[in-house]
Amino acid sequence: MSPATATTKGFAVKCILCGEEGNVHVDLHDVASFHCNECDGDFTLDDVKAVLSRWQTCIAWLESAPALEE
């Protein structure tokens, strides 16, 4: 009988402070608080939302560019 294979479940997100992937931890007592073991930084869900909002604004502007005629 072969041993059971463990499957890791998660989200491949990067730290918004240092960009490292795989080191962001969530506080189960306050799930809107995160800690990165790579840079030892702390950030919140609101910080992540602010980063995403800036990118969404940038993406909307980029996508508003007109298509060029060939």
Contact set with Zn ion (CB under 5 A)? 15, 17-18, 36, 38-39, 41
Tell me how far, at minimum, the Cβ of 31 lies from Zn ion, in Å. 18
Question: What H or E segment, with its residue span, contains residue 58?
Answer: helix 45-63
Q: How far apart are the first and last CA of the chain?
A: 63
Tell me how far, at minimum, the Cβ of 13 lies from Zn ion, in Å. 11
The nearer residue to Zn ion, 18 or 52, going by C-beta atoms, is 18
Tell me how far, at minimum, the Cβ of 35 lies from Zn ion, in Å. 9
SS3 of the chain: helix, strand, coil, percent, to 5: 25, 25, 50
The nearer residue to Zn ion, 39 or 59, going by C-beta atoms, is 39
Cβ–Cβ contacts within 10 Å for residue 35, how many?
A: 15
